[in-house]
Chain A
């Protein structure tokens, strides 16, 4: 058993390190690129002095000149100017930013290097003049600056900004830049910008070409532009109209495909959560035939274990989940074994009584958690590598945490399947489940197997708790929300059938997510519940019933 978990952990850690690599460049980009060159330092200081001294009339020209300097601080200075936060010292024409100090004088910082300078009186400072027209032109200049930024992310964002309102001036710039552009993503966006601009040209042939070229773009603003052009096009211009219409319908087709994929993804991620929550139950209920209403509380205990681990090792949040997974397995598994030995063992063959007793245990555990941790919800931090998303195209992205959860749920599923099918424990469990007396007479310790099975099922519920702690707040009622769902998944899939549980969980998750946009989330879960109840009428043994003959 331990070996499987080692494999599990190993593979998880591989995942996390990959995630680290993929996210880190973005975060560091801004810092590393700001290495000012000595030559331009002098230029920018000179230009900044001109900027300070300039009259309002000459200002636009000065600003433009300033923006042309190749210096990493240009953007900063212009932003300050646009926001009206830029001042200069009257005596030296030195541009600064200021903040009122406690004694009434002003703290000032160098306008370019951001170095702190000695405090001055208010009268020594003057605001660098701006007006709305200048602010507007700065905005345009900033966009251009972004277009040439060495950071791909900044360039993409700037290009997207342009896409919604391209002007002739910017398009010429973009055309120029596109010759030098190396990155494919940025390049295709640049082409989109150029074609969007071309759509509004007077030449019908150019328009037609643009419409045809744009049908592969998924940017929302491209679609807007196409629709706008369609509305403005003369009815007689059939060819162009047709081209526009096909472009729009092609885009819409693609979008609907992606929205289906997105729903599918959400559905699968919900399904994996259900799978994790239900799979422990599939063992205790499905294989052992024990109704454990405290199963939800095993999940809750796992979630609280994660919380405790993060509290104990606040410096290791990044690795907390890897510690929490085995810890939660042990905690929940141990409590599960206690329950089995203390209560369930004595109620063998009385399922309804087992149901009641374990329900009582679930109440006690909930209250215990309330007394120990407070009834309030607890926030469990998400490690860095769990956040963020994988942007596949402009309208479609997958969040990492859901992606990992799907993978993790499947790994747990496979591990469990292997335990049951390949290990000796699994062999004993299946033997006891099939025929207890026969198993006993073959010297299998059925008591021990019961306890171990129950511990395994509960431990997996604990692992589900670790996962849930990443998706929702951790509170005493966490488990209750999942217990009914888990039972339904197990019953739907067919009791005693792990594959059935997998299919059922994924089906329920997906159906739920596809219903949600249409009906709203509450109604969706009601529909699913009622649908399931009806399904169980038709097939009381679930999707994949166990074959066999029995009558009482």
Chain B
């Protein structure tokens, strides 16, 4: 979807900058899906079902998450294997709100407590659930919860100059610890089953098709906004320092900057973007459970970025969507083959495609230019697309 539009628009690169055409293609894709969902009746070949809308919504959440990973990995050289934790924290913040919206429609009909707490014989909400029934608080928590984790972790890790592979393993360890913690019933987040059976969000039923479409549109807007933020950060002066840290941290330090402050800052921003992605993801899939913390998930995010091309924001989006789409397809056709595919992707991308799809496109373009000369420049889009 978006990758196609991306490559079509490649040759317009001179006139538009990346920000323009990513937002534009997102807009076109969203408009197309919405239009086809609303206007064409079911059964028409142009009809896009609500299921597909939700699926695309999921992909857009993943794309946003990939942006977050790319921001720290591609631009700051921090390979985080724990972005799943930020995603899940945002998701849990949203899940708690949705849980409270169920009210007395739960199985036990308790107006105050979610079902699982009634089941565990708790008689009051734990303190950290306070305020979870208000939208404003939920929105705050979606940003704040991942930000706090990222800040604390970042302060500890970057201050003591833990970097490279050590950092990656530590992020993974923290995520793993969180997963174990959230699996416990005593944590008060639904344990193994997580939070589910949501009924409505800000008054709209989650079962209705229009809500699903609405969530999809909101996600697209959020993605466009996240892209805008990332684009802005990367091209700002601060972003340049961050990129410099990626390339030679000690030199940056010797010049007089404090790399750890920049690192913490970009880590927190990235965590917040991941948290928002998680928050938008939960109402669309209808469940959040500790499985989201699993190290495998966090690592899958990294492969999206590696596939799409680290250090290029639109590449992250393309990678997330392409890999997720492939996953949906593969797991439907041959569920067993997917892990082979994913594993193979890891190996092949790192070995053969270190710059990802985004790195491949300009290469192909320049090869094409060489072959046909600059005069044919206008027609370049077709062969690129066929690749």
Which residues of A does B touch, CB under 8 Å? 291, 343, 346-347, 351-357, 359-368, 370-371, 480, 484, 487-488, 491, 522-523, 525-526, 529-530, 532-534, 536-538, 540, 551-552
Q: Which residues in window 326-373 of B have CB below 8 A to A? A: 336, 339-340, 342-347, 349-351, 354
The distance from the CB of A274 to the nearest CB of chain B, in whole angstroms, is 14
Cα A552 to Cα B354 in complex, Å, equals: 22
Cα A359 to Cα B299 in complex, Å, equals: 8
Whether B250 pairs with A536 at a CB distance below 8 angstroms is: no
Out of B165, B174, B299, B303, name the residue touching A351 (CB < 8 Å): B165
Q: Which residues in window 22-50 of B have CB below 8 A to A? A: none
Whether A484 pairs with B172 at a CB distance below 8 angstroms is: yes
* Closest A-B pairs by Cβ, 7 of them: A360-B346, A363-B343, A364-B343, A367-B339, A529-B177, A360-B343, A357-B350
Whether B164 pairs with A357 at a CB distance below 8 angstroms is: no
Cα A532 to Cα B173 in complex, Å, equals: 9
Whether A362 pairs with B343 at a CB distance below 8 angstroms is: yes
Given the contacts A522-B180, A533-B173, A552 and B250 also touching, CB distance less than 8 Å:
yes
The distance from the CB of B311 to the nearest CB of chain A, in whole angstroms, is 13
Whether B164 pairs with A352 at a CB distance below 8 angstroms is: yes
Whether A540 pairs with B161 at a CB distance below 8 angstroms is: yes
Cα A343 to Cα B348 in complex, Å, equals: 9
Whether B173 pairs with A534 at a CB distance below 8 angstroms is: no
Whether A367 pairs with B351 at a CB distance below 8 angstroms is: no
Cα A14 to Cα B240 in complex, Å, equals: 66
Write 19 A-B pairs (CB below 8 A) sorted by A numbering: A346-B351, A352-B164, A353-B350, A356-B306, A360-B347, A364-B340, A365-B343, A366-B339, A367-B340, A368-B340, A371-B336, A484-B295, A488-B169, A523-B184, A526-B180, A526-B181, A529-B177, A536-B162, A537-B162
Whether B166 pairs with A363 at a CB distance below 8 angstroms is: no
The secondary-structure label for the interface of chain A is helix
Out of A351, A354, A364, name the residue touching B339 (CB < 8 Å): A364
Cα A551 to Cα B249 in complex, Å, equals: 10
For the complex, is B118 an interface residue (Cβ under 8 Å from A)?
Answer: no
Whether B344 pairs with A484 at a CB distance below 8 angstroms is: no
The distance from the CB of B83 to the nearest CB of chain A, in whole angstroms, is 14
The distance from the CB of A527 to the nearest CB of chain B, in whole angstroms, is 9
The distance from the CB of B157 to the nearest CB of chain A, in whole angstroms, is 7
For the complex, is B79 an interface residue (Cβ under 8 Å from A)?
Answer: yes
Which residues of chain A are within 8 angstroms of B302 by Cβ–Cβ distance?
Answer: 356
Given the contacts A363-B339, A491-B169, A537 and B347 also touching, CB distance less than 8 Å:
no
Which residues of chain A are within 8 angstroms of B159 by Cβ–Cβ distance?
Answer: 537
For the complex, is B244 an interface residue (Cβ under 8 Å from A)?
Answer: no
Whether A360 pairs with B336 at a CB distance below 8 angstroms is: no
Cα A352 to Cα B350 in complex, Å, equals: 10
The distance from the CB of A70 to the nearest CB of chain B, in whole angstroms, is 60
Cα A371 to Cα B350 in complex, Å, equals: 25
Whether B173 pairs with A484 at a CB distance below 8 angstroms is: yes
Which residues of B does A touch, CB under 8 Å? 79, 156-157, 159-162, 164-166, 168-170, 172-174, 176-177, 180-181, 183-184, 248-250, 295, 299, 302-303, 306, 336, 339-340, 342-347, 349-351, 354
Whether A529 pairs with B166 at a CB distance below 8 angstroms is: no
Which residues of chain A are within 8 angstroms of B344 by Cβ–Cβ distance?
Answer: 360, 364
Nearest B residue (CB) for A541: B166
Out of B169, B183, B299, B339, name the residue touching A487 (CB < 8 Å): B169
Given the contacts A367-B343, A552-B248, A522 and B350 also touching, CB distance less than 8 Å:
no
Which residues of chain B are within 8 angstroms of A363 by Cβ–Cβ distance?
Answer: 339-340, 342-343, 346
Whether A367 pairs with B336 at a CB distance below 8 angstroms is: yes
Cα A529 to Cα B181 in complex, Å, equals: 11
Cα A529 to Cα B160 in complex, Å, equals: 18
Whether A525 pairs with B340 at a CB distance below 8 angstroms is: no
Which residues of chain A are within 8 angstroms of B169 by Cβ–Cβ distance?
Answer: 484, 487-488, 491
Cα A352 to Cα B160 in complex, Å, equals: 20
Which residues of chain B are within 8 angstroms of A533 by Cβ–Cβ distance?
Answer: 156, 170, 173-174
The secondary-structure label for the interface of chain B is helix
The distance from the CB of B348 to the nearest CB of chain A, in whole angstroms, is 8
Nearest A residue (CB) for B342: A363
Cα A169 to Cα B177 in complex, Å, equals: 60
Which residues of chain B are within 8 angstroms of A523 by Cβ–Cβ distance?
Answer: 181, 184
Cα A357 to Cα B346 in complex, Å, equals: 5
Cα A538 to Cα B347 in complex, Å, equals: 34
Which residues of chain A are within 8 angstroms of B339 by Cβ–Cβ distance?
Answer: 363-364, 366-367, 370
Nearest A residue (CB) for B178: A526
Out of A346, A352, A370, name the residue touching B168 (CB < 8 Å): A352
Cα A484 to Cα B299 in complex, Å, equals: 13
Whether B336 pairs with A370 at a CB distance below 8 angstroms is: yes
Cα A364 to Cα B346 in complex, Å, equals: 10
Which residues of chain A are within 8 angstroms of B183 by Cβ–Cβ distance?
Answer: 522
Which residues of chain A are within 8 angstroms of B173 by Cβ–Cβ distance?
Answer: 484, 487-488, 529, 532-533
Nearest B residue (CB) for A291: B165
Cα A488 to Cα B177 in complex, Å, equals: 13
Whether A351 pairs with B346 at a CB distance below 8 angstroms is: no
Cα A536 to Cα B295 in complex, Å, equals: 20
Which residues of chain B are within 8 angstroms of A357 by Cβ–Cβ distance?
Answer: 346-347, 350-351
Cα A371 to Cα B168 in complex, Å, equals: 30
Whether A359 pairs with B346 at a CB distance below 8 angstroms is: yes
Which residues of chain B are within 8 angstroms of A530 by Cβ–Cβ distance?
Answer: 174, 177
Which residues of chain B are within 8 angstroms of A532 by Cβ–Cβ distance?
Answer: 173
Which residues of chain A are within 8 angstroms of B176 by Cβ–Cβ distance?
Answer: 484, 529
Nearest B residue (CB) for A533: B170
- Of listed B340, B349, B350, residue having the most chain A CB within 10 A: B350
Which residues of chain A are within 8 angstroms of B184 by Cβ–Cβ distance?
Answer: 522-523
Which residues of chain A are within 8 angstroms of B354 by Cβ–Cβ distance?
Answer: 353
The distance from the CB of A519 to the nearest CB of chain B, in whole angstroms, is 11
Whether B156 pairs with A537 at a CB distance below 8 angstroms is: yes
Cα A402 to Cα B85 in complex, Å, equals: 36
Cα A471 to Cα B285 in complex, Å, equals: 38
The distance from the CB of B356 to the nearest CB of chain A, in whole angstroms, is 12
Nearest B residue (CB) for A366: B339
Whether B79 pairs with A355 at a CB distance below 8 angstroms is: yes
Nearest A residue (CB) for B349: A356
Whether A491 pairs with B166 at a CB distance below 8 angstroms is: yes
Whether A526 pairs with B177 at a CB distance below 8 angstroms is: yes
The distance from the CB of B218 to the nearest CB of chain A, in whole angstroms, is 32
A363-B342, A370-B339, A540-B162 given; 17 more Cβ-contact pairs under 8 Å: A353-B354, A355-B168, A360-B344, A364-B339, A370-B336, A484-B169, A484-B173, A487-B173, A491-B166, A523-B181, A529-B177, A533-B156, A533-B174, A536-B166, A537-B160, A537-B162, A540-B160
Cα A522 to Cα B250 in complex, Å, equals: 39
Which residues of chain B are within 8 angstroms of A343 by Cβ–Cβ distance?
Answer: 347, 351
Cα A119 to Cα B168 in complex, Å, equals: 76
Which residues of chain A are within 8 angstroms of B299 by Cβ–Cβ distance?
Answer: 356, 359
Cα A135 to Cα B248 in complex, Å, equals: 87
Which residues of chain A are within 8 angstroms of B164 by Cβ–Cβ distance?
Answer: 351-352
Which residues of chain B are within 8 angstroms of A368 by Cβ–Cβ distance?
Answer: 340
- Of listed B183, B249, B349, residue having the most chain A CB within 10 A: B349
Cα A362 to Cα B159 in complex, Å, equals: 32
Cα A525 to Cα B174 in complex, Å, equals: 11
The distance from the CB of B185 to the nearest CB of chain A, in whole angstroms, is 10
Cα A301 to Cα B177 in complex, Å, equals: 26
Nearest B residue (CB) for A364: B343
Which residues of chain B are within 8 angstroms of A366 by Cβ–Cβ distance?
Answer: 339
- Of listed B249, B299, B343, residue having the most chain A CB within 10 A: B343
